[in-house]
Amino acid sequence: MNEILNLTVNEMPQTEFDCSCGRHHNFSVHEMSIRKGAIEDLPKMAEPFKDGKILVVFDNNTYKVAGKKAVELLKENGFNVKELLFDTGDDILIPDEKTLGRIVQEQDLDTSLMIAVGSGVINDSVKFVTSRSKLPYIVVATAPSMDGYVADGAPIFSQGHKYSPVAHLTYGLVGDTDILKTAPDDLIQAGFGDMVGKITAIADWDLSVKANGDYRCDTCVELTNRAMKITFDSCDKLPERDPEALGNLLEGLTLTGVAMALVNISRPASGAEHMLSHFWEMDWVERGLNPNHHGIQVGVATPVIARFFEEMEDLLPEGVKELCPSHEEIEALLQRGGAPYRPQQINISRELFHESLLKGYMVRPRYSIMQFAKDKGRLEAIADKITADIYDN
C-alpha cells in the first residue's frame, strides 16, 4: 500500500497501487527521464510510434534551446518528422482557439505521436489537442516553470475565459538539466512561484475536508510536501541557475504533477492562490495585454491567501492554520528564490487586486479560504483590509 512513496521520481511511471485513502491509483505515464543529457533518450522513448509521422511542436524560443536538437535526433534515428513552429515574436503564446486550431490543422492523418517542446502553453495546448484526437504525446521540458508536465489538466482559454478541462497524461517526459539551466529568469521564477503556491493549496485542501466534507488523499499530500522540501532546500541557488537546484525544482514540480495525476484533480497543487492568478490573467488577456507568467502570479498570490488564513484564524477548524505559515515567511521564501512577492512588482493595479479578492472564489467551483470567508460574512472586510495593508503601506 502507498508503494509510490518508496520510489524515486524516475521510477514512478506505470505505478499502480491500493492507497490508504481507500482508492486504487494508477500513474499511467510510461517514461520519465530527468537528468543531465536526458534529451538523448527521446528517440528511444518515441520508438513505439516510429511507423507513423511525428509532429513536433515548438515556438521560436523553445526551438533554439531544444526543438532543433529534438528534430535532429529523431531524423538521425529514422523518424518521419513534421515540424510546427509558433513564431510569436515578442508576444506570449496564448492557449486559445487559434493556437489549438492550428495544431489540429497540422495533424496529418498518419500522425502517430506529437512531441511538445516547451513548457506551460506548448505542453497544455498539445496535451489538450491529443486528448481529443486520441493520440499520445511526449513533452520535452524547456523550463522548470510549472507543474503540469505529468498532470492531466490542460488550462486553456475559450472565448476569453480560462478554464482547466481534463485532458490526458503525457506518454513521456524529458527533463534535461542542461536545457533547463538555459531557461529565462522569469520562467525559473514562475516555476518557483508555482511551487510556493503549494503551501496554501495544501492548507486549502485541509480546510475543504474539515469545513466542506471534501475527499483528500494523504499519500498525495505527502508527495506534495516532499516536493516542497526538495525545492525549498536549494532555492537560494535558483537565482544563480545552479543545475542541481533547477533539477530539484523540476523534480518538485513533477512530483506535484504525479500527485494530481493520481487523484485526477489539481487539489494537491492548486487552491485559492491559483484562483487569484487566473482572475488576473483573464483580465489582462481581455484587455489585449500579455499576462505575467502564471507561476509568477501564483507566487505573488500565495502570501495574499496566507493573510486570509490569518484573518480567519479564530473561525478555522482545528489544525488548519498550522499548515499555513505567516505571509511574512512566505514573502521571505519567495525572495530567497529570486521571485516577486508583492502584486505591485508585477503591475497588478489596486483596483484589479481588490476585485480579485472579492470575486476570485468564483473562478472555479472549488471550496477555498475565500469561499470560507464569504460563508462567514467576512469576505468584503478582509478584502478591504488586505488591499489597504498592501497598497497603502
Note the pLDDT of residue 322.
97
pLDDT one-digit tens code per residue, 132-156: 999 999 999 999 998 888 988 888 8
CATH classification number, 3-183, choose in 3.90.1580.10, 3.50.50.60, 2.40.10.220, 3.40.50.1970 = 3.40.50.1970
Residue showing cell 486550431: 101
Compute the mean pLDDT over every residue in the chain, rounded to the nearest whole number.
94
Q: Which fold has domain 186-216+267-391?
A: Dehydroquinate synthase-like, alpha domain (1.20.1090)
Note the pLDDT of residue 164.
83
Average the pLDDT over each of 118-132, 159-173, 218-232, 342-356 and give the range with the smallest value. 159-173
Q: Does the pLDDT value for residue 237 go beyond 90?
A: yes
Note the pLDDT of residue 19.
94
User: Of the candidates 12, 84, 67, 43, which has an alpha carbon nearest to the alpha carbon of residue 261?
Assistant: 12
**What is d(CA 315, CA 214) in angstroms, rounded to the nearest whole number?**
18
**What is d(CA 291, CA 120) in angstroms, rounded to the nearest whole number?**
13
Phi and psi angles of residue 25, each rounded to the nearest 5 degrees, phi first:
-105, 150
What's the Cα-to-Cα distance from 321 to each of 20, 201, 207, 214, 298, rounded to whole Å?
24, 12, 9, 18, 20
Domain boundaries, the chain: 3-183, 186-216+267-391
pTM greater than 0.85: yes
Q: Where are the alpha helices (DSSP H) in 264-293?
A: 272-286
Containing H/E element for 228?
A: helix 218-232
The share of the chain scoring above pLDDT 90, in percent, equals 84
Q: Does the pLDDT value for residue 2 go beyond 90?
A: no
Of 158-167, 227-236, 244-253, the range with the highest mean pLDDT is 227-236
Which pLDDT band, with edges at 50, 70 and 90, does 27 fall under?
very high
